[in-house]
Amino acid sequence: MTKSISLIQFLIEAKRAERITGELSLLIEVVARACKRISVATGKGALGGVLGNAGSDNVQGEAQKKLDVISNEILLEANAWGGHLAACASEEMEDPQPIPDAYPKGHHLLLFDPLDGSSNIDVNVSVGTIFSVLRCPDGVTEATTADFLQPGTEQVAAGYVVYGPSTLLVLTFGHGVSEFTLDREIGSFILTKRDITIPADTGEFAINMSNQRHWEAPMQRYVGELLAGTEGPRGRDFNMRWVASMVADVHRIITRGGVFFYPLDAKITGKGATGKLRLMYEANPMAFIVEQAGGAATTGRERIMEIRPTGLHQRVPVFLGSKNEVEIATRYHLEADGTRG
Ligand code: AHG
Indicate which CATH number applies to the domain containing 241: 3.40.190.80
Q: How confident is the model at residue 174 (pLDDT cuts 50, 70, 90)?
A: very high
Atom from ligand 1 closest to the CA of residue 243: 11
The pTM assigned to this predicted structure is: 0.96
pLDDT at 297: 98
Residue 58 has pLDDT above 60, yes or no: yes
pLDDT at 114: 97
Question: Considering Cα of 123, then 289, then 211, then 308, what sign does the dihedral take?
Answer: positive
pLDDT at 341: 52
Look at residues 162, 193, 224 and tell me which one is the last residue of a structural domain.
193
Going from the Cα of 215 to the center of ligand 1, the distance in angstroms, rounded, reads 17
Q: Which residue has the higher pLDDT, 330 or 51?
A: 330
pLDDT at 59: 73
Residue 160 shares a structural domain with residue 221: no
Residue 184 shares a structural domain with residue 222: no
Atom from ligand 1 closest to the CA of residue 211: 18
Residue 159 shares a structural domain with residue 269: no
Going from the Cα of 262 to the center of ligand 1, the distance in angstroms, rounded, reads 9
Residue 254 lies in a domain: yes
Q: For helices 217-227 and 323-337, what crossing angle results, to 10°?
A: 140
Which residue among 122, 264, 277, 281 is best mutated to probe the pocket of ligand 1, counting the most ligand atoms within 8 A of its Cβ? 277
pLDDT at 141: 85
Q: How confident is the model at residue 42 (pLDDT cuts 50, 70, 90)?
A: very high
Rounded mean pLDDT of 27-51? 93
Residue 136 lies in a domain: yes
Residue 195 has pLDDT above 70, yes or no: yes
Rounded mean pLDDT of 122-136? 96
Structure confidence by residue, pLDDT tens digits, 147-170: 999 999 999 999 999 999 999 999
For residue 124, give its domain range.
7-193
Query: Domain total for the chain?
Result: 2
Going from the Cα of 244 to the center of ligand 1, the distance in angstroms, rounded, reads 5
Residue 116 shares a structural domain with residue 217: no
Look at residues 143, 163, 193 and tell me which one is the last residue of a structural domain.
193
Which residue among 115, 116, 127, 242 is best mutated to probe the pocket of ligand 1, counting the most ligand atoms within 8 A of its Cβ? 116
Rounded mean pLDDT of 235-242? 98
Residue 10 has pLDDT above 80, yes or no: yes
Look at residues 172, 193, 214 and tell me which one is the last residue of a structural domain.
193
Q: Which residues fall within 8 angstroms of residue 314, CB to CB, at 6 or more apart?
A: 274, 278, 279, 280
Cβ atoms of 326 and 259 within 8 Å: the answer is: yes
Q: Which residues line ligand 1 (CB under 6 A)?
A: 62, 113, 116-119, 208, 244-246, 249
Rounded mean pLDDT of 235-248? 98
Cβ atoms of 40 and 50 within 8 Å: the answer is: no
Rounded mean pLDDT of 137-146? 93
Atom from ligand 1 closest to the CA of residue 117: 4
Residue 1 lies in a domain: no
* Residue owning the nearest CA to atom 12 of ligand 1: 244
Phi/psi of residue 170, nearest 5 degrees: -115, 130
